[in-house]
Chain A
Amino acid sequence: NAGVTQTPKFRVLKTGQSMTLLCAQDMNHEYMYWYRQDPGMGLRLIHYSVGEGTTAKGEVPDGYNVSRLKKQNFLLGLESAAPSQTSVYFCASRVRQGGDYGYTFGSGTRLTVV
């Protein structure tokens, strides 16, 4: 019962490099979310998905792309990393039913862009 697994846990990128963060959940959850956490700002929603093959923009989507080709996986891509994208990234998932219950978070990916 792994819950939500994020890989990698740490990464250092140079400005302009690209990378993909993987979020995998084994709970058959419909909804998945990518948040970024910055000091003094809490967590802000980047993108979300309400089902396989669907994605939508959150509050801070610029510079990121996402894909949900399989229900259990939600990928976050940075095509050309910038120092402003240095942050801790959290993935979350939840069931469709029950509305406001049952968000499960991964343990985060700490990304540094130099």
Chain B
Amino acid sequence: GNSVTQMEGPVTLSEEAFLTINCTYTATGYPSLFWYVQYPGEGLQLLLKATKADDKGSNKGFEATYRKETTSFHLEKGSVQVSDSAVYFCALSAPLEGGYNKLIFGAGTRLAVHP
């Protein structure tokens, strides 16, 4: 079946540190992959996406590359800020009956950045 596995958190970093949050997936076919971010008290927001192998999604200094050979989509940022503190979810698009799609999420990784 389809599933997403993320590294467990929380991840605690100092401001300007390098961030990596690991994400691997299991899927039939070649799903689109996503990173969503959830700030405290808010809903999920799309951070970046990639739709095919070797695509690199990027936004707000975050990057992730779709690696088919390792079935991975790791999230990276070169220099984190306090404002990046949030929960990050890796997700893939999986098929539903009737040709529709749904998102399958990983468990989420909480990031805390300290000054």
Contacts and interface: CB of A to CB of B under 8 A. Distances in A.
A20 B34 CA distance: 30
Nearest to A38: B107
A45 interface: yes
A107 B106 contact: no
- Most chain-A Cβ atoms within 10 A of its Cβ — which of B32, B36, B41, B105? B105
Interface in B68-114: 89, 93, 96-98, 100-103, 105-108
Contacts of A33: 102
B32 A58 contact: no
A4 to B, nearest CB: 7
A69 to B, nearest CB: 20
A-side interface size class: 20 to 34
A19 to B, nearest CB: 20
Nearest to B42: A107
Interface in A1-59: 4, 31, 33, 40-45, 48, 50, 56, 58
A43 B105 contact: yes
Nearest to B102: A45
Contacts of B51: 100
Interface of A: 4, 31, 33, 40-45, 48, 50, 56, 58, 90, 92, 99-101, 103, 105-108
Given A43-B103, A50-B100, A105-B36, 10 more contacts: A42-B108, A43-B44, A44-B105, A56-B97, A100-B31, A100-B32, A100-B101, A103-B103, A107-B41, A108-B42
* 10 tightest A-B CB contacts, nearest first: A42-B105, A105-B43, A100-B32, A100-B93, A105-B44, A107-B43, A43-B105, A42-B107, A40-B107, A106-B43
Interface of B: 4, 31-32, 34, 36, 41-46, 49, 51, 89, 93, 96-98, 100-103, 105-108
